[in-house]
Structure 1
Amino acid sequence: MRKTDTTIKYVEPDSIAFEAGIEAGDKLIKINGHDFHDILEYRYLTAEYEVTLEILKKDGSTEVITVENDYEDLGIEFAEGLIDEAQSCHNKCIFCFIDQLPKGMRETVYFKDDDTRLSFLQGNYVTLTNMSDEEIDRLIKMRVSPINVSVHATEPELRQMLLGNRFAGKCYSIMQKFAENGICMNCQIVLCPEINDGEHLKRTLYDLAALYPNVNSVSVVPVGLTRYREGLYQIKPFTKESSADTIEFVEKIQQDFLERLGTRLVYLSDEFYINAGVEIPQSDTYEGFPQLENGVGLIASMKEEFDSAIKFIKKKRRSRYVSVATGEISYDFIRGLADRIQNECGGVKIDVYAVKNDFFGGGVSVSGLVTGGDIIRQLKGIIKTDTLIIPHSMLRDNDNIFLDDVTVAEVEEALNVTIIPTYNDGYEFIEKILNEELDFGG
């Protein structure tokens, strides 16, 4: 039995629901006479010109309201975002990052979701291993698209081993059914040296290419390994040499896809290029950056924006001294941008600090996993400015808190600084550094 909660938490002012007299605390019981069980069914049933809503009011009375919404959102938020509970992951992936977390972190960090609704609504990746035939048909009926799929391998036996799930081998047949019914998919491959790389990777990529254009993009990211792997499957980290080999291997496949399909289709994460000491590809090779959320093309995207934005810096002398904290892997890139700003702007000085990830250890060096505690320990007594700019990706769940539960306020107090988060955006980076808006008026 699915546990649902259709209590309305918030009604947007001046929205269709607001004008109809719907209030926070009311419950939505039926839509057009139909029961609904989750947020997808809610969206599907309300995507009509005229919608009839059965409302259980806070005082216990029932109202039936018909609204004309012209296919607009009604302006309702539910107490439970999905209306029912998020589906958890039943896999035991040999590379699972959550299994490599230290003990003592907040409970929500350890939750493994594997929910196609979160894939559609928030861009999360799902493995398709816990889906019934009925659920597959439901998604097709509602035209839920795109779906982001964690593929890792298309060979059934290999995928079963990678995911530790005897049902994992059905993934490609499910994807074929989605493709046949016009559902678009973005795919992810976590690459593990000597396990699913080489000819296994080639098989996976060509299988996925056979579903193009319904498979819209494929990212390949290196396995992330922390120091908390005791008792877990032994996986080798990527080295400079194996990263370079992977780049060469995938670039040949990209070229073949480009000639046959008109798209490269598959894209490597920035980590491969940095680890190999190979120059990041130009922005146009990422074909619109369909996999930015997977760390694919972040540097090329930001550089492209930065190259454009720096032309709009106002010509004047300034007095500005700030610091930037970043992960080890992106230090050289951020230092390069900082140098260009300093050269362009007299009176501007920028210190850039590469924060080593002692919290996770292992080979973890990306900015998004830097913790507040590591920033405090490594910059205390060293930082000379009263402003510290950090990537917004260091903060979790849109809150002012780092992954280790240290808050922004605690870091500010410990270092006697004001922290300014910035997104991976070349324009915003310059504006935060200079503390001023760019002059687009020429």
Structure 2
Amino acid sequence: MKNNEIIKIYPGSIAEEVGIEKNDKLISINGNPVKDIIDYKFLITDQYINIEIEKQDGQIWDIEIEKDYDEVLGIEFKDFILDKPKSCHNKCIFCFIDQLPKGMRKTLYFKDDDSRLSFLQGNFVTLTNMSEEDVDRIIKYRMSPINISIHTTNEELRVKMLNNRFAGKAYGRMKKLAQAGIEMNCQIVSCPGINNGSELKKTIQELYKLYPSVQSAAVVPIGITKFREGLPKLKLYTKDGAIAEIKMIKEMQKKFIENSSTPFVRLSDEFYVIAELDVPESDFYEGYNQLEDGIGMIRIFRDNIENNLNRLDLHKKGTFTIITGVSAYKEIQNAANKIMNYNKNVRIKVKKIINNFFGETITVAGLLTGQDIIEQVKDEDLCEYIIVSNNMIRKGYELEQNSDKVLLDDITIEDLENEFNRKILICDYSGEDLIDIINSCCKEE
């Protein structure tokens, strides 16, 4: 184990009781070396364990512990996974990281393809940058569910799309995982003229053959930034193309619902925005477990505003500027109008930010940068408070020990507050806490 230094001991924990201290190092559990956090979580579950600890003075302590099954020791390690995350060796034609400009923070260019992060954090893996031993380890430790970026089940096409000669093995590995009872969720980045249309239909049908081990499939449209020099030329979805995809998928969903009572595959909200069609009703999203893929965000936001509107305090007044991207602007403006109609003393201005940093083809709020916000908001007549959604805040492995609220270009929320001389309020992107935020910041009439 490379990064086994302990940085925190929880008060009242087993670790504190047996004398483990900050900066000690974990050597082994029951005589087994600990490769990473998955080994640790697996080995620590027993009721009787023997752990080796290296103290700061170099002494080795051999500690016997009796505890409840699955009871934790109460420690945190310096590195979240006790190892470096595995990197991706694919060269996907649609990879967003390859479309980043030069000069950004190094960690933004790191492509992880790590099944441990898939299990622990919900990251997606391609099943391409791993050995058969890695696949067997997923099965041994019951690392389930696993999120998989599949894109196509056509072996030859997948090799071309991922630019990896081993990429065609993925569906076979998924069969092996399904036979072992490992649950999977799949993501497909759909590229017009490459893996959409009939290819997309075939991929979805192949994935459905592994249902219920493959629990769901999410389809998202390709995102193209202005930084694609030297990369393959790709097309964006047009309105007609998005409508055709929605129509095709809708027919498949009907059959899946008839057979299994679930749509199984869902398109991201972006398809409906491009097609200028309304998103499906709430029941269609079955608990909204694909929100991270941008699926159901519009509907859950709309429902949360509608369901919580009656909690708006009519005896208070206040003014707010909400900052959002192009895709969500219309929905946010509609919500603002509902709130202002319900309480005439609340004023909300919605500011749409054009993504000049990545290019105007990138329209989602989650990819807005601080510099675009500053440039386009600095001359605005701002309200008392500014509200931004939490999906603008950069998240990821490299921030595990970093509590700063940082946007993609390393501009912080504090930087924006200083720039605008306004308090910035961070709202859940689902809108669940928007009414509470407005109530708490408004003043009595």
- Report the TM-score when normalising by structure 2: 0.95
Q: Which amino acid aligns with 1:33?
A: G
Residue 241 of structure 1, CA deviation:
1.1
CA deviation map 1:332-385 (0-9, x unaligned)? 101111111111113110000110000000410000001111111111111321
Residue 35 of structure 1, CA deviation:
1.2
* Counterpart check, 1:429 vs 2:428: no
* d(CA) in 2 for partners of 1:396, 1:372: 11
* d(CA) in 1 for partners of 2:381, 2:119: 42
Question: 5 Å matches for 1:234-253?
Answer: 234-253=233-252
Matching residue within 381, 386, 389 for 2:387 = 389
Residue aligning to 1:399: 404
Residue aligning to 1:440: none
* d(CA) in 1 for partners of 2:329, 2:386: 15
* Counterpart check, 1:293 vs 2:285: no
Residue aligning to 2:425: 420
* d(CA) in 2 for partners of 1:349, 1:182: 53
Q: Which amino acid aligns with 2:53?
A: I
Partner-residue secondary structure (3-state), 1:319: strand
Question: 5 Å matches for 1:3-14?
Answer: 4-14=2-12
Residue aligning to 2:188: 189
* Counterpart check, 1:268 vs 2:232: no
* d(CA) in 2 for partners of 1:114, 1:334: 34
Residue aligning to 2:73: 74
CA deviation map 1:10-32 (0-9, x unaligned)? 12222222222211111111111
* d(CA) in 2 for partners of 1:426, 1:248: 29
Partner-residue secondary structure (3-state), 2:135: helix
* Counterpart check, 1:127 vs 2:126: yes
Residue aligning to 2:197: 198
Question: 5 Å matches for 1:43-442?
Answer: 43-70=41-68, 71-314=70-313, 316-397=314-395, 399-435=404-440
- Report the TM-score when normalising by structure 1: 0.96
Q: Which amino acid aligns with 2:291?
A: L
* d(CA) in 2 for partners of 1:18, 1:77: 12
CA deviation map 1:22-65 (0-9, x unaligned)? 11111111111111201101111111122221111112111122
* d(CA) in 2 for partners of 1:331, 1:69: 53
Residue 69 of structure 1, CA deviation:
3.1
* d(CA) in 2 for partners of 1:257, 1:20: 54
Residue 181 of structure 1, CA deviation:
0.4
* d(CA) in 1 for partners of 2:330, 2:71: 46
* d(CA) in 2 for partners of 1:302, 1:28: 45
Identity %: 46
* d(CA) in 1 for partners of 2:190, 2:377: 34
* d(CA) in 2 for partners of 1:245, 1:172: 26
* d(CA) in 2 for partners of 1:168, 1:261: 30
- How many residue pairs get matched? 434
Q: Which amino acid aligns with 1:340?
A: K
* d(CA) in 1 for partners of 2:72, 2:257: 39
Aligned 8 A contact 1:209 1:265 in 2: yes
Aligned 8 A contact 1:306 1:425 in 2: no
Residue 426 of structure 1, CA deviation:
3.0
* d(CA) in 2 for partners of 1:428, 1:165: 44
Residue 308 of structure 1, CA deviation:
1.5
Please tell me the root mean square deviation across aligned C-alpha atoms, in Å.
Answer: 1.4
* d(CA) in 2 for partners of 1:304, 1:68: 48
Aligned 8 A contact 2:29 2:49 in 1: yes
* d(CA) in 2 for partners of 1:275, 1:434: 34
* d(CA) in 2 for partners of 1:139, 1:374: 42
CA deviation map 1:49-87 (0-9, x unaligned)? 222211111121111222233212222211121111111
Residue 436 of structure 1, CA deviation:
5.6
Unaligned runs of 5+ in 1: 438-442
Unaligned runs of 5+ in 2: 396-402
Residue 250 of structure 1, CA deviation:
0.8
Partner-residue secondary structure (3-state), 2:108: helix
* Counterpart check, 1:29 vs 2:27: yes
* d(CA) in 1 for partners of 2:411, 2:305: 31
Q: Which amino acid aligns with 1:53?
A: I
* d(CA) in 1 for partners of 2:413, 2:286: 36
Residue 114 of structure 1, CA deviation:
0.5
Runs of 4+ in 1 over 4 A off after TM superposition: none
Residue aligning to 2:400: none
* d(CA) in 2 for partners of 1:228, 1:399: 28
* d(CA) in 1 for partners of 2:273, 2:404: 29
* d(CA) in 1 for partners of 2:110, 2:163: 18
Residue 418 of structure 1, CA deviation:
1.3
* d(CA) in 2 for partners of 1:309, 1:405: 34
